[in-house]
Amino acid sequence: MGAGPAFRGGQHFRTHGGMNGEIDPQDLFNMFFGGGMGPGFGGGGTTFSFGGPGGARVYTAGGGQRRAGAGGARGPQAADSSPLLQLLPLLILGLFSLISYLPSLLATPDPSFTWAPSGAHTAQRFTPRHGVSYHVSPVQWEKHPFVEQYKAGSHGALKSFEERVENGYKNQLYASCERSREHQQRRILNTRGFLGIGGQPELEKKIRAERYEACERLEDFGIYFNIRV
């Protein structure tokens, strides 16, 4: 329980205040800036403690370089493994994408078709739901797997194909109707003159009454492309 200070590490420090055991500021300055740390600096470190009624306090200096060195030894191993860990999520994502597309890659592609007779596409067919007309090659059609499945009583694959045919036809109608409506709307705006001066209301009414086959056919699919002006 002695009141005197105990020192380790080969360094000596003065204390003031007796029982409080505070370090002399001059010694502290010399320790860091005076070059007097001796072999303990950067090596095993300097440790000093104070006892007494005020309680024991332990101070440690140095030793940081050795810990940094130990940590640095592990750095290259972590650096070597980090690129692989960063690429791992991408590899997993690519694997799942490949698995999801694998059935379509292995499946037989749809038979080719056209909206009007062309080349070998001479056989006309109609989709059962909306009566969309399309033409296929008779030879290619008869050899396709879903035609053979249809003859065997399985209609699912052929039904899915005809739905894709209707979606393609619907997209074509939408593009055609959109172009017609834009042209119609520009013509309507031109009939209104400048600030109402020189307007042609009768001509505007006539233009508004125009009908377009693509737009009317879209209505069979539940799509209404109305005039916006």
* 94 Cβ contact partners less than 8 Å away, ≥ 6 residues apart: none
Phi, psi of 169 (to 5 degrees): -65, -40
Q: Quick one: pLDDT at residue 19?
A: 47
pLDDT at site 115: 95
Q: How confident is the model at residue 55 (pLDDT cuts 50, 70, 90)?
A: low
pLDDT at 80 over 90: no
Give the 3-state secondary structure of 6-59: EEECCCCCCEECCCCCEECHHHHHHHHHCCCCHHHCCCCCEEEEECCCCCCEEE
pTM for this prediction = 0.53
Of residues 48 and 216, more confidence is placed in 216
What's the pLDDT score for residue 66?
Answer: 46
Residue predicted with more confidence, 29 or 91:
91
Report the pLDDT averaged over residues 119-141. 95
Give residue for tokens 């001509």: 203
pLDDT at residue 89, as a whole number: 82
Q: Which residues, 6 or more positions from 162, have their beta carbon under 8 angstroms from its beta carbon?
A: 127, 128, 129
At 211 the pLDDT is: 95
pLDDT tens for 19-30 read: 455 566 666 666
Span 184-204, mean pLDDT? 91
At residue 88, the pLDDT reads: 80
**Cβ-based neighbours of 85, under 8 Å, separated by 6 or more:** none
